[in-house]
Amino acid sequence: DVVESNRSFEFREDPSFWKDHNVQVIIRIRPLSNSEISLQGHGNCVRQESSQTMTWIGHPESRFTFDMVADENVTQEMLFKAAGVPMVENCMEGYNSCVFAYGQTGSGKTHTMLGDIEGGTRRHSVNCGMTPRVFEYLFSRIQKEREARREENIKFTCRCSFLEIYNEQILDLLDPSSVNLQIREDTKKGIHVEDLKEVEVTSARDVMQQLLQGAANRKVAATNMNRASSRSHSVFTCVIESKWESQGVTHHRFARFNLVDLAGSERQKSSGAEGERLKEATNINKSLSTLGLVIMNLVSISNGKSHHVPYRDSKLTFLLQDSLGGNAKTCIIANISPSSCCSLETLSTLKFAQRAKFIKNHAFVNEDASGDVLAMRIQIQNLKKEVARLR
């Protein structure tokens, strides 16, 4: 399970490595860009020490440990095998799963999550990113499962949605006429976005089509509103449901898979901004700063201190509540540039990632054998309330 490359550190691809960890934090260091190389006196602001440790070269020098440090020699394929495959396996087992890409603008978030998708799936491009690879693998796994479990008459249903959070407003990327959608929580559906378009998908090609459509709509929205798409968060979600018969009982399994490309984490310059621009700067900070706060409070809780977690203070954290300290297996990929020109932003990303390592999620298999997925959800809801009461 160790991939050979011209890399001096082993790179683990063994999914079992993830089994006991509900939250994984990976640092991805992108290669220096041409403009960074051409800059006078450029240097590196980080140094990798091992497959899990790295040093930020500054004052004072700081050493960090993560679940994985991936340098520029780690390809899209290698990262997919290390992070994407186990997440798909989690979903197949009925665990909610979430992959976040965090980092400043230009650090490689979109490259990591989507990559080069114009050419279609990975058969066409080595630069194709996590999301298309994940779905190609998911549908091949579903096919295998169908063949292996014919007797149980197993059936799968996958539905996807794609949304953008900008300025604390939710836009449906699969139906851009739907703006300012609201997040609701009820016992039937759990936390969900009201009226968000859901499309049934039966192949990786179907998913690619939705991804491309959503990406195009995102570009149009950004152009129309005269703002950079780096200021919005995008969330691609696929709900995977399965149903099978065993010993006269119908079983249901359910998993929600979120793939999130966050807005650039760099400090927004709000000085001199007025009106819409100022509101935008504050609101963008709001979803990201609330994310930081939620993580900070979750860390306090895991240290035995009781704290209110302000999930509802931003759209992002409300929507992804389950993925942060809840019922999900979560992978955070923190992207950084190695260039000394980004030294301080890189340090801030490393600190964020280090805090995130302390989050403890409580993932459980979403399954019931009573023949009713909704009943199961209500049961979960009631259990959650009971846990809160006991706390």
Binding site for ligand ADP (CB under 6 A): 30-31, 72, 103, 105-111, 230, 335
* Binding range to Mg ion, per CB under 5 A, among 51-59, 101-109, 195-203, 271-279: 101-109
Q: Which does 214 bind (CB under 5 to 8 A by kind): Mg ion, ligand ADP, none?
A: none
Please tell me the number of Cα atoms within 13 Å of 139 on its side-chain side: 17
User: Which residue lies nearer to ligand ADP by CB, 234 or 366?
Assistant: 234
Torsion of CA 105, 109, 110, 112, to 10 degrees: 150
Q: Do β-strands 190-193 and 199-201 pair in parallel, antiparallel, or remain unpaired?
A: unpaired
The smaller minimum CB distance to Mg ion, of residues 110 and 340, is found at 110
In sequence order, the 6+-apart residues with CB closer than 8 A to the CB of 137 are 80, 84, 85, 88
Residue 113 has φ and ψ, to the nearest 5°, of -80, -45
The single-letter code of the amino acid at 378 is I
Dihedral angle over CA of 132, 134, 138, 139, nearest 10: 10
β-pairing, 155-166 with 199-201?
antiparallel
Residue 107 binding: pick among Mg ion, ligand ADP, none (C-beta 5-8 Å cut-off by kind):
ligand ADP
Tokens of 188: 């039937």
Annotated binding-site members for ATP = 103-110
By beta-carbon proximity to ligand ADP, the closer residue of 35 and 302 is 35
Helix (H) or strand (E) holding 356: helix 343-356
* Smaller CB separation from ligand ADP, 309 or 333: 333
Rounded to a whole number of angstroms, the minimum distance from the CB of residue 171 to Mg ion is 16
Smallest distance, Mg ion to C-beta of residue 263, A: 9
Shortest separation between residue 74's beta carbon and ligand ADP, angstroms:
8
Of the pair 108, 325, the CB lying nearest ligand ADP is at 108
Nearer to ligand ADP by C-beta: 229 or 361?
A: 229
110 sits near Mg ion (criterion: CB under 5 A): yes
Looking at the Cβ atoms of 261 and 368, the one nearer to Mg ion is 261
What letters, b where the CB count within 10 A reaches 16 and e where it falls short, cover 325-363? bbbbbbbbbbbbbbbbbbbebbbbbbebbbebbbbebeb
107 contacts Mg ion (rule: CB under 5 A)? no
In whole angstroms, how close is the CB of 146 to ligand ADP at the nearest point?
35
Complex with ligand ADP: residue 111 or 233, whichever CB lies closer: 111
CB of 75 to ligand ADP, least distance (A): 8
Residue 130 CB, nearest approach to ligand ADP (Å):
11
Question: What is each CA distance from 166 to 221, 232, 240, 263, 356, in whole angstroms?
Answer: 10, 5, 27, 9, 23
User: How distant is the alpha carbon of residue 368 from its chain centre?
Assistant: 26
Task: List the single partner that 108 binds among Mg ion, ligand ADP, none, CB under 5 to 8 Å by kind.
Answer: ligand ADP
- Residue 58 binds what, of Mg ion, ligand ADP, none (CB under 5 to 8 Å, by partner type)? none
DSSP 273-308: --HHHHHHHHHHHHHHHHHHHHHHHHHHHHTT----
d(CA 138, CA 143): 9
Strand residue runs (E) in 5-59: 23-29, 46-48, 53-56
Choose from ligand ADP, Mg ion, none: what does 106 bind? Cβ within 5-8 Å by kind.
Answer: ligand ADP
What are 69's strand-pairing partners?
A: 27
Annotated binding site: 103-110
Q: What is the DSSP letter of 22?
A: S
Output the residue with the shortest Cβ distance to ligand ADP: 108
Tell whether omega for the bond before 31 is within 30 degrees of 0, i.e. cis. no
Window contacting Mg ion (CB under 5 A); options: 107-115, 125-133, 187-195, 287-295:
107-115
326 binds, among ligand ADP, Mg ion, none (CB under 5 to 8 A by kind): none
Q: Could you tell me the smallest distance in angstroms from the CB atom of residue 219 to ligand ADP?
A: 13
CB of 141: closest distance to ligand ADP in angstroms? Answer: 26
337 lies in the binding site for Mg ion (CB under 5 A): no
Selected range binding Mg ion among 105-113, 201-209, 279-287, 316-324, rule: CB under 5 A? 105-113
Residues contributing to the site for Mg ion (CB under 5 A): 109-110
